[in-house]
Structure 1
């Protein structure tokens, strides 16, 4: 762009788009967090259940996640993958690492040690971690949007 006015309008357009995204992210309903926590709990805790239940939890949880994505898009007009924004992705990677460890621990405790309560404990921990990390991710995402020119 060689025209300073055109460049200014382009930058204002970007700033307006970021402000619009921030406004849509302001009113996050706790229902979303609870649903996300439930999906994560089912993915992690379900793996320690006996067959065929453990295998069924994966498509049910992924279906729940798909419903959440559709609902969120209908509510806000956007969907941002947890791994897409630069800084918030590390929150998502951290959660993924913890959830994988929980899932493996759940499998070991339920299948090898035969602890009937392992899926409940792993699922409960995953539920809480999903909510906490989800809120933390959103806070980091908002901060990044503000710092990059919104």
Structure 2
């Protein structure tokens, strides 16, 4: 049977565990960032489709984001929602605030495009824009996370 740790030993073990998790998260993953960006881009692009395909596109996107989140949580050993620390939360919220207008533009494109070519090119441009914004936002979130947690790479 093991001896119970002293409060100081228990606190030190908790702090080591937190530092290990912060280092894992701070290491980042381009695979995650590219997957996240591609999924969000697809969600924006499907808004240029007619109903029910646009709704199905968002539903599939949410499902894929859930799978990506779970895979990353399993890799890291902890679930990171992106909403903490405090400044990193604002990066995540800002990214969402960029995606919403892109989705609205895709919906408007669906209604006002005069040809299939115009619709396809417009949707492709919106998807590319979403991909770039998501990739930059994901990397920016990681940079802010590193700075706020004091983890230097």
TM, length-normalised to structure 2: 0.82
Distance across 2 between alignment mates of 1:27 and 1:40: 22
Distance across 1 between alignment mates of 2:100 and 2:131: 14
Distance across 2 between alignment mates of 1:90 and 1:13: 30
Local SS of the residue matching 2:28: coil
Task: Report the equivalent of 2:3.
Answer: none
Distance across 1 between alignment mates of 2:46 and 2:57: 6
Task: Report the equivalent of 1:105.
Answer: 105
Local SS of the residue matching 2:62: helix
Distance across 2 between alignment mates of 1:88 and 1:36: 17
Task: Report the equivalent of 1:70.
Answer: 70
Distance across 2 between alignment mates of 1:99 and 1:12: 41
Task: Report the equivalent of 1:126.
Answer: 130
Distance across 1 between alignment mates of 2:26 and 2:50: 41
Local SS of the residue matching 2:81: coil
Distance across 1 between alignment mates of 2:139 and 2:29: 11
Stretches of structure 1 that go unaligned for 5 or more consecutive residues are none
Corresponding pairs, count:
142
Distance across 1 between alignment mates of 2:47 and 2:133: 17
TM, length-normalised to structure 1: 0.83
Stretches of structure 2 that go unaligned for 5 or more consecutive residues are 1-5
